[in-house]
Structure 1
Amino acid sequence: MVLKLLLVIFLVPLLVDSLEPAFNDDVLGLIVFKAGLIDSEAKLTSWNEDDDSPCNWVGIICDPRSNRVTELVLDNFSLSGHIGRSLVRLQFLRILSLSKNNFTGTINPILAQIGTLRVVDLSENNLSGPIPDELFRQCGSLRAISVAKNNLTGLIPDSLSSCSTLERVNFSSNHLSGTLPSGIWSLSALRSLDLSDNLLKGEIPRGIEILYDLRAINFRKNRFVGQLPEDIGGCLLLRKLDFSENFLSGVLPMSMQKLSLCTYISLRRNSFTGEFPDWMGDMRSIELLDLSANNFSGQIPNSLGDLQFLKELNLSTNRFLGSLPESLTNCLNLLAVDVSRNLLTGNLPAWTFQLGLKSVYLSGNRFNGSIEYTLLKSMAASLQSLQVMDISSNALSGGVPFAIGNFTGLQVLNLSRNSLSGSIPLSVGELKATQVLDLSHNRLNGSIPSDIGGAVSLQELRLERNSLTGEIPSDIEHCSSLTSLDLSQNNLTGPIPAAIANLTNLQIVDLSFNHLSGSLPKELTNLSHLLSFNISNNHVQGELPVGGFFNTIPPSSVAGNPSLCGSVLNQSCPAVHPKPIVLNPNSSSDSNRGTFAPNLRHQKIILSISALIAIGAAVFIALGVVTITILNLHVRSSMSRSAAALTLSVEDDFSHSHTSETNYGKLVMFSSDAGFATGAQALLNKDCELGRGGFGAVYQTVLRDGRPVAIKKLNASSLIKSQEDFEREVKKLGKIRHHNLAALEGYYWTPSLQLLINEYVCSGSLYKYLHEGQSENCLSWIQRFNIILGIAKGLAHLHKLNVIHYNMKSTNVLIDNSGEAKVGDFGLARLLPMLDRYILSSKIQSALGYMAPEFACQTVKITEKCDVYGFGVLTLEVVTGKRPVEYMEDDVVVLCDMVRRALEDSRVEECIDRKLQGNFPVEEAIPVVKLGLICASQVPSNRPDMEEVIRILELIQSPSEGQEELE
C-alpha cells in the first residue's frame, strides 16, 4: 500500500497521461488529487486508495448504474492546496464544487477536458491569476460556473462568449479588469450574470435584449461609464437589476417600464440625472427600489403609490423637491423609507408613522412643523415595529413628545439639528431597546431626567448643543452598554458623578463647555476602553486622576479649568501638609504657683528629650545608610565579576551578541555589540525624551560606538508577556528589514523595565511636517506622494510577513534626511499577552480617528485591513494637511466624512492642503483622495490590500499606463 501511494504521489504526470487502467480511473484521480491537498480537519479519511470504488467516500456521488463519479462536492472542508491535473480522469463528472476552502494557485485549464461537466463552483477560495481562456473553448455541456470571492486578475476571456450553454456565470468579488467581451450578450441561455465587485470599465454594450431568459444581472461596484443599455427592457423575465456603485450617467431608459416582473432595482451611487420617471409606477412587482446618491431632481410622482409590493424605498442624496406623496400610504408592505439629504419641504408626513415601518430616514431636508403629541399618542399601536427614526437636520419645532416612550421597539432615535424646545420627557426611560438617542443641536432646556437610566440598552447618548441645566443624574450608571456620552455645550452644573465610572464600556465622553465643578472621581481610571474624555472649559478642580487613559490625556481635553492640576497640565498640585502640633504653654501650669519659672523649666526638659530623640534617630538612620551602602558595593562587585565571566554568544537567527549590562539587566543588540554609553536608567530623563505614545515614551541616546538610537520605554509592564515570550516576539520583529521601515536594533529587559532600541531617524515625524511646520517649509506634492507610496510599501512588506501594525498614525511615520518615509512602532501589539482589542484600543488611544471600526465590534476579526483603514486616513491627512479629528469651537470635524462630502459635491480640490497654494497636479491629487477614501471604507472587505494600493499609486504616477482606470 505504501509503495502504491508513493507511486501515485511522485509519478502524477505519467499516471494522469499514460497509465493503463490498472486502478479504477476515478479512485486513481481522486487519490492523486487528495495527495496534493492539506486536509487540516481530516475530512477525507474515508478516501482509501485500496478501495475498488470511491462511491462510499465522503463528498462523492456516483451514477448507480455505472458506478462512475458524477459529483465531487467538498464545500467548506477546510482544504488547501492546488487543483491539480488528476481530476481529468473523472470523465463522467458532472458537478465539481470546491467552494469555501483555501485552494490557491491558478485555475487549471485542464478542467475543460472533462466534457461532461455541467457545474463548476470554485468560489470563496484564494485562487489567483487570470481566468484561463482555454476553460471556455471546449465548454461542452457547461451550464454554471462560479469563481466568486477569489483573487483573480486580468480580463474576462473572450472565449466566454462562445460558451452558448451557460446559464449562470458568477465572477464577482475578484480583481478582474478591462472591458466586457464584445460578444457577452451572445450567451443566449444566460439566466444569471454576476460581475460585481471588480475593476471592470468602459461602456455597457447594447444588445442585451436578446437574453430572453435573463433573470438577474449584477454589475455592482465596478467602473462602468455611459448610460444603461436602451434595450434592457427586452429582458422581460428580469427579476433583479443591480448597476450600483459605478460611474453611469444620463436618464433612465424608458424600456425599463417593460420589466413588470422585476422585484429588485438598485442604481445607487452613480450620476444618473433627470426627474423621477412617472412610468416607474408601472413596474408593479418592485419590492426594493434604490436610486440613492445620484443627481435625480424634480418631484417624487404620485405613481410611486402604485408599487403595492414595495418593501424598501431609498431615494436619499438626490435633489428631489416638494413633499412626499400621500399615495405612498397605498404601499401596505412598505418597511423602510429613506429620503434623507434631499430638498423636500412641507410638514412632517404623518403617514410615515402609520404604515408599521421598521425604519424612517427623513434627515437633511427642509421639513417643518412639530411632532404632534396627540398624533403620536393616537398612533401608538402602529409604532411597535419602528426600529429606526431619523428626522434630524430639518426645521422642526415644538417639543419632544411625551409619547416618545411608546416607541418600544425603537433602536435608533435621532431628532438632532432641529429647533426643538422644552424639556426632555421622562418617557425616555421607557425606551428599553434604544441603542442610539440623539437630541443634540436643539433648544432643549430643563434637566436631564433621572429616568434616562431606564434606557438600559443605550450605547450612544448625544445631548450636546442645547440649554440643559442641573446635574448629571447618577442613574445614568444603569445604562451599562453606553460607549459614547456627549453632554457638551450645555449649562450643566454640579460634580461629575462617580457613577460614570461604572459604565465600563465607555469609549468617548465629552462634558466640555458646561459649568461642572468639584473634583474628578478617582474611579474614572477604571474605564479601560476610553479613547477620549473631554472636560475642558468647566470649573473642575483638584488633581487629575492618575492611571489608565488619564496618564496620556491630551491637554486640550482638560484646558479651561483653572483650578485643575496634574502633570499633564504642567501644573503641580499644592502639597497637603499635616497641621503642626501646637503645645499650649499654660496647659501644665500649676494654679497654686504664682510664677512661670517651673513651667519654663518643664519646657526645657521636654525640649531636651525631643532633641535627644531626634539625635538618636539621625544616628540610627546614618548607620543604616552606611550599612546599605557597604552591602550595595559588595553586591555590585559580585555582579561585575559575574558579568565579566559571561561569554558572548551568537544565535543562529541574528548576527549579534547577548550581554548583561552590569547592575541592570539583559541587553541584546541584533546587528552589533555596542551597548549604552551610560546606564539604562540614566537614559530615561526629560532631557532625552523625544515624545510619548500609547505604548510608552521615546528617548534619544548614543551607543558606545557613537551611533544614535531611539529608545522606547514600554509602559504598563503588567501587560507585557513573560520574558521568554517577549524575547521571542521581539526577535521576530528584529528580523524585519525594509527601506520604508524603521528597524528594531535590539532590546533591554528586566522584570520591571523593558526597552526597545530602534533605528534613529533624524528628521522627525510626519506629524511634525504636517501640523507643526511653517508654511514656507511645507512638504511639496512630490514629497507627499512619495511619502504615501513609501508608507504603502512598508505596510505591504509587514503584511507579507503576517505582521499587523495596529497603530498607524502620522506620529509613527518618520522622515529621514532624504525625505523617505519610514514606518515605526510596528507590531508592538504582539508584545501584549493577548491581542485583546480593548487592551489595544486603550494602548493606541492617541490614534483616535485612525482606528478601524472593527475595533469596536467583538464579532469582526481584526486583520491587515485595520492597517489599510489607518493608511487611508493617513493618506487623507497627508493630502489635506488636516488632522483625522479636529475639535472646533462648536463642532467635531471627522476628516473622512468631510472629504467624502466634498467628493460627493464635486469640490475635492477645496480639501487639498492650502499650503500647497495650487502647486499640485489635480490629475494625481483627486485619485489619491479617492484611494484614501476607499482604504478608509467602513466595511473591511471593501478595502484593497496594500499590494494593490501600491499598484494603484504607481498607475497614478504614470497616467499613460492606466490613469483612466482611476477616474
Structure 2
Amino acid sequence: MGFSHLLLYFLVSSVASLRGCMGSDRVPIQINDDVLGLIVFKSGLSDPSSYLSSWSEDDDSPCSWKFIECSPVSGRVSRVSLDGLGLSGRLGRGLQKLQHVKTLSLSRNNFSGEVSLEFGLIPSLESLNLSHNSLSGLIPSFLDNMSSIKFLDLSENSFSGPLPDDLFRNSSSLRYLSLAGNLLEGPIPSSLLSCSSLNTLNLSSNHFSGDPDFVTGIWSLERLRKLDLSHNEFSGSVPHGVSAIHNFKDLQLQGNRFSGPLPVDIGLCPHLNRLDLSSNLFSEALPESLQRLSSLNYFSLSNNMLTGEFPRWIGSLSNLEYLDLSSNALTGSISSSIGELKSLRYLSLSNNKLLGNIPTSIVSCTMLSVIRLRGNSLNGSIPEGLFNLGMEEVDFSHNGLIGSIPSGSSTLYTSLHTLDLSRNNLTGHIPAEMGLSSDLRSLNLSWNNLESGMPPEFGYFQNLTVLDVRSNALDGSIPADICESGSLNILQLDGNSLVGRIPEEIGNCSSLYLLSLSQNNLSGSIPKSISRLDKLKILKLELNELTGEVPQELGKLENLLAVNISYNKLIGRLPVGGIFPSLDQSALQGNLGICSPLLKGPCKMNVPKPIVLDPYAYGNQEDGQKPRHVSPRPARFHHHMFLSVSVIIAISATIFIVFGVILISLLNVSVRKRLAFVDHALESMCSSSSRSGNLVTGKLVLFDSKSSPDWINIPESLLDKAAEIGQGVFGTVYKVSLGSEARTVAIKKLITSNIIQYPEDFDREVRVLGKARHPNLLSLKGYYWTPQLQLLVSEYAPNGSLQSKLHERLTSTPPLSWANRLKIVLGTAKGLAHLHHSFRPPIIHYNIKPSNILLDENFNPKVSDFGLARLLAKMDRHVMSSRFQSALGYVAPELACQSLKVNEKCDIYGFGVLMLELVTGRRPVEYGEDNVVIQNDHVRVLLEQGNALDCVDPSMGDYPEDEVMPVLKLALVCTSQIPSSRPSMAEVVQILQVIKTPVPQRMEIF
C-alpha cells in the first residue's frame, strides 16, 4: 500500500471516529465507510485486467460497483465476490470497514502473504472463501471473534505449521470447513469437536497426524455428512461402534496409514454414496455388511492388504459406477453377480490373485468405459460380447487368457483409446477392424502367440502413439504406411518373423523416439530415411539379416541415446557423429565386417567394382543394335583381353607397393640411427644436469609451495602402494600420503592418449587450472610430468563422490536429505559459475555427472575434473563425445552435432540432468523390462500432467514442495534441447539462492 493511501486511510479513520463522537444521527457515514474501505483494499492490489475499474472513490455508494451486492434494507455491502479475477497482492487493511458484509469470496486469485487478524473484526461475516491463492504462514486465530461464521474455505494455499488448539472454540455455527491442499501439520485441534453444526470437513492433502482416539472424536459429530481426511499421516485403526458414522454420505480416508480390518459399521450407512479407503494398510477380508450400501456409487479399496475371496455379493451394490479393488490379495474368481451392476463405468481388479474365467455376465454392464484386470491369473477366453461395448480402455495384460481376440464392433473401435492384451496366451490373427480405430492411442499385444501378418488397415491409425506387438509369431513385411498418421512415439515389432526390407516410409514416423525391430528376419540395408527421425532416442535392429553399411546420415540424430545393430550382416564404417563413436562391443558384434577397434573381425568396405567396358558399346553397331550374327570366339577373345589388362594393372600396383615399402624401410633405418644419436646425446646432457631440470626422472611441481621439491625417481612405486579410489574419463585416481608432512592428496594418473606431450604446453594449461580456486572446486595442487607419465595432484575429498552417495549407497548408510541435496545443487552451480564467468575464455567442464562431484566432510560439493579437456592435444567434439561415453544422458546434444556451436551451455545441460537426478534419485536413463525411461522426458510429462511430485525420491523423507518444484522446473529449463534457451550459470545461481530463501523472505524479494 502506498504512502498516499495509508495517509488517506488514516484520515478516513480519524474523520469516521470524529463523526462518531458527534453523533450518528447528524452525519450519515455508513455508506462512506464501505466505499473508503473497498478503495483502500483496492489500492493494495494489482488488477491486470482492470476488473475493478468501476470502483471509484468519488461514488457515494458501492452498491452499483461490479462484484458488489448490498442489502436492500440497510444499503450496506453484504457480499463481495472477486473469484477468479487474476488479482494479486496482499490482503491489506480496509476490509474490516465492511461491518455488515456476510459473504467475502476472494478465491482463485494470486493473493500472497499472511492472513490478517483484522478479518476477525468483521462480526457479521458468515462466509469466507480464500481458497486457491498463494497465502502462507500460520493460520491465525481470527475465528475467536467470528461466532457467526458458517462457511470457511482456506484450501489450496501454502499455510503451514500446526493449528492453534483453541482455533474453533467460538465456531459452533460452522457448517463447512476446508483446509485442504496446504502444508499444515500436527494434530487436529480438539476444539474442532465443539463445532456441533459441522456438515462438511475437508482436511485432505496436508501433513496432519493423530491417533485413533481423535478420529473417534470426529466420528461423534452427529451432523457430519462429508469427511475427507485423505493424503495425510493418520494411522491406527478406524473406530467401530460410533453411531454418528451412520449419517455419512461421503467418506474419504485414502492415502494415510490406517490399518487393521475395515470397520463393520460402514456397512450401516444407508446414505453413503462415496467410500474411498485406498492406499492404506487395511487387511483381512471385506466385511459382509458392505453389501448393504445400496446407495454407493463410488467404491475404492485399492492399494491395501485385503485378503479373502472376491465378494459374491458385489452385485448388491446396484448403484455402483466406480469400483476399484486393485493391488490387494483377493483370491477366488470374479463373481458373476458383477453383471448386475448396470451403472458400472469403471472397473479395476488389477494385481490381485484372481483365478478362473472373465464372467460372461460382465457383458451386461453396458455402461462400462474402463476395465482393468491386469496382473491376475485369469484364464479362458475374452467374452465375445465384451468387445461390442463402447469402452475407452481395456487392460487384460499379465494373465493367462487363451483363444483369439474378438473382432469387436464399430462401437468399440470408435471409442477405444487404450488396449493392452500383452503377456497372455492369445492366438489367431490381429483383427483387421482394429486398424479402423479412430481414437486408439496405445495398442499393446506383445508376448502372445498371434500369427499371420499385421493387417494393412494398421496404416489407418490416426492418433496411435504406442504400437507394441513384440514376441509373437507375426510374419510378412512391415506395412509401408504404418506411420501414415505421424503421431507414433513407440514402435516395437521385435521378436517376430517379419521379413523383407525396412520400408523407406519409416522416415515418416516424425514423432518416433523408440524404434525396435530386433529379432526378426529383416533384410536389405538400413534406410537412410531413419535420419529424418530427429526425436529418435532408441534404435534396436539386432538379430536380423540386414546388409550393407550403416548410413552416415544417422550420425546427425542428436537425440539418439542407445543403438544396437549387433548380429546382422553389416559392413563398413560407422557414422562419425552422434552416439555411434560411443557404442560398445555388445552393440556391434556379430556382423560381417563393421570397422571398429572394438571388434576383432575383418573390416569390409563397400569398394566400387572396377569399370568393365562392354565390348559392344562402341563400334560394330548399327542404329544402336548389336550384330545379330556374332560367333562366340570373338567374345571369348575380348574377355581374355580384359582379364589380361586387369592382371597387368594388378601386377603394376603390386610392384609399386613393394617399392614403396622398401623405400620407407630404408628411411626408417636412417631415422632410427639419428634418433639413437639424439637419445644418446640427451642422456649425456641429463646425466650432467641438475636434478631439478632432469625431464627423464621427472619433477613434482606444487603450486602452493615456494619451492618445487623433487619427487621420488620412481613415482610408480608410490602409486603401487596407494589406494585406488576411482576411475574417470581421463585416468585413474589414487589416495596418497605425500611427503614428510603426510598430507593426504588425490593423484590422477592421466591416460597418455591424445594428452599434450610438450612440457611447456602442459605446464601452461595446468597452471591455468591451478588458478581456479573456489570453495566448490576441487583445488588443483600441482602436477608431475614425464613423456611417459603425467600426474595431477589435487585436494582429497573424504566423503567420496555424489555417485556413491546417490546410487551406490549401502543399506546401512542413511540417504541424502533434501537439505544436503539442495546444498550440493547450489554449491555445484557456484563452482561452475566461477569457471564460466571468472575466466576468459571460460573454462568448460564438458563432463558434469555425479562421479565428478566430490563431497567434503560437511557434504559441501567439490567439482572435479574441470577443464581437463584443455589438456587434449586436439580438441574435437567427437573425441570428447567418445571420451564421455560413460556419461549417457548427461552429454548435451550439441556435443554430438557438428552444426551447433559448443560453449559453456553444454555444462548447463549436464547440470540440469544432475539436478533431476538429485530430486528423483534415479539415473538419467533407466532400462526396464519393457521400456526405457528417460528422466528428462518423464519428469516433463509428469509436470505437464500436474503430477511432478510423483517423481521425487521417496527415500529422502520429508521435503518442502516450495523448494523441490522450482528446482524441478529449473532443471527442465537447463536441459532445453536449444542451447540458447538455457540460462547462464550465474542466472542459475541467482534462481537457486531465491529458491533456498525461506518462503516469507522470498515473498519480500518479489
Give the secondary-structure state (helix, strand or coil) at the position aligned to 1:444.
coil
For the pair 1:550 / 2:557, whether they are aligned, the reply is yes
1:106 alignment counterpart: 114
2:592 alignment counterpart: none
Asked whether the equivalents of residues 701 and 708 of structure 1 are also in contact (C-alpha less than 8 Å), the reply is no
1:35 alignment counterpart: 43
Q: 2:86 aligns with which of 78, 90, 96?
A: 78
Asked whether the equivalents of residues 315 and 340 of structure 1 are also in contact (C-alpha less than 8 Å), the reply is yes
Asked whether the equivalents of residues 539 and 561 of structure 1 are also in contact (C-alpha less than 8 Å), the reply is yes
Give the secondary-structure state (helix, strand or coil) at the position aligned to 2:34.
helix
1:130 alignment counterpart: 138
Q: For the residues of structure 2 that align with 1:348 and 1:850, how far apart are their CA atoms?
A: 50
TM-score by length of 2: 0.63
Q: CA deviation at 1:424?
A: 2.0
Asked whether the equivalents of residues 496 and 518 of structure 1 are also in contact (C-alpha less than 8 Å), the reply is yes
For the pair 1:370 / 2:381, whether they are aligned, the reply is yes
Q: CA deviation at 1:946?
A: 9.6
Asked whether the equivalents of residues 238 and 263 of structure 2 are also in contact (C-alpha less than 8 Å), the reply is yes
Q: CA deviation at 1:158?
A: 2.0
Structure 1: runs of 5+ lacking an equivalent: 591-684, 690-699, 711-736, 744-759, 826-844, 852-865, 897-924, 953-967
Give the secondary-structure state (helix, strand or coil) at the position aligned to 1:226.
strand
Q: Which has the larger radius of gyration?
A: 2
Q: Give the letter aligned to residue 544 of structure 1.
A: P
Q: For the residues of structure 1 that align with 2:10 and 2:828, how far apart are their CA atoms?
A: 38
Matches within 5 A, 1:81-480: 81-133=89-141, 135-162=142-169, 163-204=171-212, 205=214, 206-231=216-241, 233-356=243-366, 357-371=368-382, 375-376=384-385, 383-403=388-408, 407-408=412-413, 409-480=415-486
1:718 alignment counterpart: none
Q: For the residues of structure 1 that align with 2:504 and 2:955, how far apart are their CA atoms?
A: 49
Q: For the residues of structure 2 that align with 1:885 and 1:185, how far apart are their CA atoms?
A: 50
Structure 2: runs of 5+ lacking an equivalent: 20-28, 582-594, 597-602, 621-751, 757-761, 780-793, 834-845, 866-886, 894-909, 936-952, 972-990, 999-1006
Q: Give the letter aligned to residue 87 of structure 1.
A: L
CA deviations on 1:325-352 (whole Å, 9 max, x unpaired) are 2222222111111111111111121122
Gap change, CA 1:140 and 1:887, over 3 Å in 2: closer
Q: 1:55 aligns with which of 58, 63, 78?
A: 63
Give the secondary-structure state (helix, strand or coil) at the position aligned to 2:184.
strand
Q: For the residues of structure 2 that align with 1:790 and 1:887, how far apart are their CA atoms?
A: 29
Q: For the residues of structure 2 that align with 1:251 and 1:947, how far apart are their CA atoms?
A: 48
Gap change, CA 1:702 and 1:245, over 3 Å in 2: farther
2:721 alignment counterpart: none
Q: Give the letter aligned to residue 34 of structure 2.
A: D
Q: Give the letter aligned to residue 223 of structure 2.
A: D
1:928 alignment counterpart: 956
Gap change, CA 1:478 and 1:589, over 3 Å in 2: closer
Q: CA deviation at 1:507?
A: 2.4
Q: Give the letter aligned to residue 147 of structure 2.
A: G
Q: For the residues of structure 2 that align with 1:764 and 1:484, how far apart are their CA atoms?
A: 45
Q: CA deviation at 1:169?
A: 0.5
Matches within 5 A, 1:413-812: 413-541=419-547, 542-546=549-553, 550-551=557-558, 553-554=560-561, 556-561=563-568, 563=570, 565-567=574-576, 568-570=579-581, 571=595, 687=754, 706-707=768-769, 769=803, 785-786=815-816, 789-793=819-823, 811=849
Gap change, CA 1:687 and 1:539, over 3 Å in 2: farther
1:635 alignment counterpart: none
Name whichever of 121-130 and 153-162 sits farther off: 153-162
Give the secondary-structure state (helix, strand or coil) at the position aligned to 2:299.
strand
Give the secondary-structure state (helix, strand or coil) at the position aligned to 1:445.
coil
Q: CA deviation at 1:15?
A: 4.5
Gap change, CA 1:493 and 1:393, over 3 Å in 2: same
Q: CA deviation at 1:452?
A: 1.4
Q: Give the letter aligned to residue 481 of structure 1.
A: S
Asked whether the equivalents of residues 497 and 521 of structure 1 are also in contact (C-alpha less than 8 Å), the reply is yes
Aligned residues: 717
CA deviations on 1:843-872 (whole Å, 9 max, x unpaired) are xx9649999xxxxxxxxxxxxxx9999867
Q: Give the letter aligned to residue 146 of structure 1.
A: D
Asked whether the equivalents of residues 197 and 220 of structure 1 are also in contact (C-alpha less than 8 Å), the reply is yes
Q: 2:72 aligns with which of 55, 64, 75?
A: 64
Gap change, CA 1:526 and 1:589, over 3 Å in 2: closer
Q: For the residues of structure 1 that align with 2:766 and 2:891, how far apart are their CA atoms?
A: 40
Q: For the residues of structure 2 that align with 1:192 and 1:127, how far apart are their CA atoms?
A: 22
Asked whether the equivalents of residues 347 and 371 of structure 2 are also in contact (C-alpha less than 8 Å), the reply is yes
Name whichever of 321-330 and 86-95 sits farther off: 321-330
1:611 alignment counterpart: none
Gap change, CA 1:267 and 1:61, over 3 Å in 2: same
Asked whether the equivalents of residues 817 and 956 of structure 2 are also in contact (C-alpha less than 8 Å), the reply is no
CA deviations on 1:239-274 (whole Å, 9 max, x unpaired) are 111000111011122221221101000000000111
Give the secondary-structure state (helix, strand or coil) at the position aligned to 2:482.
helix
Q: Give the letter aligned to residue 290 of structure 1.
A: S
CA deviations on 1:291-324 (whole Å, 9 max, x unpaired) are 1111111112232211111111111111111111
CA deviations on 1:134-189 (whole Å, 9 max, x unpaired) are x1111221011111111110112223331111100010000000011123222110
Give the secondary-structure state (helix, strand or coil) at the position aligned to 2:52.
coil
Q: For the residues of structure 1 that align with 2:392 and 2:913, how far apart are their CA atoms?
A: 30
Q: Give the letter aligned to residue 926 of structure 2.
A: V
Q: For the residues of structure 1 that align with 2:817 and 2:329, how far apart are their CA atoms?
A: 39
Give the secondary-structure state (helix, strand or coil) at the position aligned to 2:515.
strand
Gap change, CA 1:7 and 1:371, over 3 Å in 2: closer
Q: For the residues of structure 2 that align with 1:217 and 1:178, how far apart are their CA atoms?
A: 18
Gap change, CA 1:43 and 1:208, over 3 Å in 2: same
Q: Give the letter aligned to residue 321 of structure 1.
A: T
Asked whether the equivalents of residues 225 and 246 of structure 1 are also in contact (C-alpha less than 8 Å), the reply is yes
Q: CA deviation at 1:396?
A: 1.0
Asked whether the equivalents of residues 470 and 491 of structure 1 are also in contact (C-alpha less than 8 Å), the reply is yes
Asked whether the equivalents of residues 208 and 232 of structure 1 are also in contact (C-alpha less than 8 Å), the reply is no
Q: CA deviation at 1:951?
A: 12
Gap change, CA 1:786 and 1:277, over 3 Å in 2: closer
Q: For the residues of structure 2 that align with 1:514 and 1:420, how far apart are their CA atoms?
A: 20
Q: For the residues of structure 1 that align with 2:154 and 2:763, how far apart are their CA atoms?
A: 55
Give the secondary-structure state (helix, strand or coil) at the position aligned to 1:434.
coil
Asked whether the equivalents of residues 471 and 496 of structure 2 are also in contact (C-alpha less than 8 Å), the reply is yes
Gap change, CA 1:120 and 1:348, over 3 Å in 2: same
Q: CA deviation at 1:887?
A: 5.5
Asked whether the equivalents of residues 869 and 935 of structure 1 are also in contact (C-alpha less than 8 Å), the reply is no
Q: For the residues of structure 2 that align with 1:821 and 1:320, how far apart are their CA atoms?
A: 49
